[in-house]
Chains A and B, each alone.
Chain A
Amino acid sequence: MNAFIHHFTFEFRTGIRNKQLLLMNYLFPLGFYLMMGFVMAEINPPFREDIIPAMVVFGILAATLLGIPDPLVNARENGVFRSYKINGIPSISILVMPALTTILHLVLVAVIITISAPLLFDAPSPVHWLNYVLIFLSMAIACAGLSVLIGVVSPSSRMTVLWSQLIFVPSMLLGGLMVPYKMLPDIAGKFAQLLPATQAMNAFNGLAMGKEAAFSPWGSVIMLLISGILAFVLAVYLFSWDSRNTTRRGHPLLALLVLLPYALGIFLW
């Protein structure tokens, strides 16, 4: 327990000390939120209804996909994991701790957005708070797991950017943050269901914000949770202590299995 506390404390502080992580955890999400609130809400007033869930989802995407993978790759390449292994630090701690501390940073960001948006932009607050928290945590777990998995299977920092952007950019365009899911063409809508952001926005609409969901909102919550847990399991399975060690338990492409719950969800719901 003592080790867990010291590890958690150090990782949490890193999220503020490290300029790149500070940017991804706080400055980018909150700056984008303010910009969208002041600009987008004026141009497109209905956006006010989505500003809280959309900006919380954006914050989760930025902090996890853009913040978690690169430090994991750098730590592996710089021999930090080797040092951890020698000192008996388990791989599960190495993978779970950045996710947990990032989620704590995200809680703070979500609280700021949720409290300030009604005051600043006349945005409607969630109507089912418990569901709101549950969906936030499901989305955070899903994206944190996915980000850790990207960090584990990426051979270099450049590859983390590629993999992360492959999820981040479509999420911004098709995930229901800027354009409502119902306005997407059918094919684009099916593709969008492979993205955690789409599932989270659907669940927020149907279960927390008092709006109508495009498809099963509880199905979205279940898929986010299953995908998140599957991502962590795959990350632990595919974890490599150092880049020079050629023995890995599975092929990195196994990581694509993380999209399986979403793919099944397209047919189920």
Chain B
Amino acid sequence: MNNSVIVVKDFRKIYGDYVAVDGISFDVRKGEIFALLGPNGAGKTSTLECLEGLRAPSGGSMRVAGMDPARETHKLRNLIGVQLQSAGLPESITPDEAMKFFCAYHNVTPRFDLLERFDLTGKRNVQFYELSAGQQRRLVLALAVAHNPQVLFMDEPTAGLDVATRVELHSVMREQQAAGTTIILATHDMAEAEQMSDRVAILLQSKIVNIGTPLEITATGAGLTKISVRTQTSSLSAPGIMFPAVSQHKLKDEYYIYFSSDIGPTVSAIIAHLAAHGDALIDLRVERPSLEDRFLEITNSGVVQ
């Protein structure tokens, strides 16, 4: 806990009669990329906004870089960077002006190198509303990291971005992480969360239902691994064939697909079967359950422990 940059204990956020977040606790360690996942209305944005000091918690406690975001808002400003879900910049501001403007309020030298890094050099004097969605998002990110924040909050960072820009943005996130920045992101993109995050918290019905590394989270589910097999003579098509640990199977595009809870015995048995029937492998693929599979499993079950 000593190297925790963000500590949240029994945090609650209530709007009138609506409980948006109901007593969640977690911590984020220095240099970690931590993802908040959950369906719409699960409480991700409320949690982020309270951590950013935009709203006050209804209960519990929060510390960000040692500060209480609700009470030490001014001290926190230079310690955090935020990429909001909405653009959050005036329509007529240019990237050059925005960089000077925000850096001046953070009392740091404008980081025009970041505009180059984010491929905005040719757009430095173009008004914000004339930039494409990707360029707008890159500018907002450049501004968020220009004062070298200890903690970077990102709300849906890659929504609406093309593949190349997503890759670029992920590379910047990695650079920031390598420089010691702690990143906390809220996203719907499971692949992004799985690829980028060191740890993930899944929110459902205002509570955290699972927290851990993507591997730990996928391992806690039903854990069915997908085994796809294609053979030369289709010996697997014979009726009544059973393999150990397989709970269901299907045929798709000449592939026999098995869902196994224990891949070792299953794969061994399939290979033994092929050898016994004079068949040969053309292709064999083993796919672990993804974070998305596990997320869907949790959200579809709707069970909050």
Do A and B interact?
yes
User: Closest CB-CB distance, A247 to chain B, in whole Å?
Assistant: 8
Measured between beta carbons, the chain A residues less than 8 angstroms from B78 are 88
Q: Is the CB of B127 within 8 A of A7?
A: no
Q: Which residues A1-58 have CB closer than 8 A to chain B?
A: 2-3, 5-7, 9-10, 13-14, 17-18
User: 11 other contacts beyond A9-B97, A78-B87, A82-B84, with CB at 8 A cut-off?
Assistant: A14-B90, A17-B127, A18-B91, A83-B88, A85-B53, A86-B52, A87-B143, A88-B105, A88-B106, A241-B54, A245-B55
Check B53 against A86 for contact (C-beta < 8 Å): yes
A75 interfacial contact with B, CB 8 Å:
yes
Measured CB to CB, the closest approach of chain B to A17, in angstroms, equals 5
Measured in the bound complex, the distance between the Cα atoms of B92 and A78 in whole Å is: 13
User: Do the beta carbons of B15 and A246 come within 8 Å of each other?
Assistant: yes
Interface positions of B (Cβ within 8 A of A): 15-16, 52-55, 74, 77-78, 80, 82, 84, 86-93, 97, 100-102, 104-107, 127, 143
Please give, as numbers and ranges, the residues of chain B lying within 8 Å of A89 by CB-CB distance: 105
Q: Does A250 contact B (CB under 8 A)?
A: no
- Complex contact B92–A14 (CB within 8 A): yes
A79 in contact (CB, < 8 A): yes
Given contacts A82-B88, A86-B84, A88-B77, contact A6 B101 (CB under 8 A): yes
Shortest Cβ distance from residue B265 to the other chain A in the assembled complex, whole angstroms: 54
Interface residues on A, range: 20 to 34
Please, which residues of chain B bring their CB within 8 A of the CB of A3? 101, 104-105, 107
Kindly state whether residue A120 has any CB partner on chain B within 8 Å.
no
Given contacts A17-B127, A83-B84, contact A7 B101 (CB under 8 A): yes
Closest 3 CB pairs of A and B: A83-B88, A88-B77, A79-B86
A5 to B100, CA, bound (A): 10
Say whether, besides A86-B80, A87-B77, A80 and B106 are in contact (CB < 8 Å): no
B115 shortest CB reach to chain A, Å? 16
Give chain A residues whose Cβ lies under 8 Å from the Cβ of B105.
Answer: 3, 7, 87-89
Minimum distance in angstroms from B206 CB to a CB of chain A: 17
A114 to B84, CA, bound (A): 47
Known: A2-B104, A85-B54, A88-B105. A10 touches B97 (CB 8 A): yes
On whether the beta carbons of B101 and A10 are closer than 8 Å, the reply is: yes
Selected contact of A75 from candidates B90, B101, B107, B143, CB within 8 Å: B90
Residues of A close to B97: CB separation below 8 A: 6, 9-10, 13
A49 to chain B, nearest CB (A): 40
If A79-B84, A241-B54 touch, whether A86 touches B77 (CB-CB below 8 Å) is yes
What's the count of A-B pairs with C-beta under 8 Å? 72
| Cα A78 to Cα B85 with chains together (Å) | 11
A17: chain B residues within 8 A (beta carbon): 92, 127
With a cutoff of 8 Å between Cβ atoms, the chain B residues found around residue A2 in the complex are 104, 107
A13 touches B86 (CB 8 A): no
Shortest A102–chain B CB gap in Å is 15
Q: Which A residues are in CB contact (< 8 Å) with B127? A: 17
In the complex the two chains form, is B88's CB within 8 Å of A10's CB? no
What are 6 A-B pairs with beta-carbon distances under 8 A?
Answer: A2-B107, A6-B97, A7-B101, A82-B54, A87-B106, A88-B74
CA distance A137 to B268 in the complex (A): 89
Complex CA distance for A259 and B101, rounded to whole angstroms: 35
| A18 contact from B54, B55, B89, B92, Cβ within 8 A | B92
Q: Are A78 and B15 in contact (CB under 8 A)?
A: no
Structural contact, B88 and A80, CB atoms closer than 8 A: yes
A5, closest chain B residue (CB) = B104
Across-interface contacts of B82 in A (CB, < 8 A): 83, 86
Given contacts A3-B104, A86-B52, A245-B55, contact A10 B93 (CB under 8 A): yes
Which residues from chain A contact B100 at a C-beta distance below 8 Å? 6
Task: Report the bound CA distance from A85 to B53 in whole Å.
Answer: 9
Contact mask A238-269 → B, CB, 8 Å, 1/0? 00011001100000000000000000000000
| Contact present for B54 and A80 (CB under 8 Å) | no
> A3–B104 Cα gap in the complex (Å)?
5
- In the bound complex, what is the Cα–Cα distance between A16 and B79 (angstroms)? 35
CB-defined contacts of B88 to chain A, threshold 8 Å: 78-80, 82-83
Shortest distance between the CB of A38 and any CB in chain B (Å): 33
The residues in A between 54 and 112 inclusive whose CB is less than 8 angstroms from any CB of B are 75, 78-80, 82-83, 85-89
* Among candidates B53, B92, B104, residue contacting A6 with C-beta atoms closer than 8 Å: B104
Please name all residues of chain B whose beta carbon is closer than 8 Å to the beta carbon of A7 when the two chains form the complex: 101, 104-105
For the complex, what is the distance from the CA of A241 to the CA of B80, rounded to whole Å? 18
> Are A13 and B92 touching (Cβ within 8 A)?
yes
Q: How far does the Cβ of B225 sit from chain A's closest Cβ, in whole Å?
A: 43
A13 / chain B contacts, CB cutoff of 8 Å:
92, 97
Cα–Cα, bound, A89→B143 (Å) = 14
